[in-house]
Amino acid sequence: MSRQEAIILPFTRVEKRSRVYGTRRCPVCGTSSPKRSAGRRQLRDLGVGCPVVLEVRYSKHRCPQCKEHFNAPMDDLAEPGSLYTRRVQTTAVAKVLVDGLPLEVVQEQMFREFYVHVPPNTLQRWVVEAGEKDRPEDVL
């Protein structure tokens, strides 16, 4: 099992999503690039009543012009490389920054309410990153 795969318990709901396209524009040069293959990514999502895993199939492309390799975008679902959806991330961060709850309490609530285990280091990183995004640029 790779790092990107979730443990699927018997009562886990698996929701399939598709980001498979025949062609996509190259992010480097803009040339129309055909699909070369497909991949699969599993994301942990908020569940009500049971754990939820999104299984996303996506297309992999190679630009014929500049030879760049790239995947179909999934930015609407999750940060690049993340194991969790943006819904999980924003919900957990809001519980810390808006509700003022300690990280340990948020971790317990996320598991109890949504069946999502978020490690404390991941939760702390999300909160720090959210704080950095909200901070105004320093004026010289």
pLDDT digits (tens, 9 = 90+) for 11-47: 889 999 999 999 999 999 999 999 999 999 999 999 9
Find the mean pLDDT for residues 86-93: 96
Banded pLDDT at 6 (limits 50, 70, 90) = low
All structural domains of the chain with their residue ranges: 9-74, 84-133
pLDDT of residue 1: 46
54-80, pLDDT tens digit by residue? 999 999 999 999 999 999 999 999 999
Q: Residues near 60 by Cβ (< 8 Å), separated by ≥ 6?
A: 35, 36, 37, 38, 39, 69, 70, 71, 72
Q: pTM for the whole thing?
A: 0.81
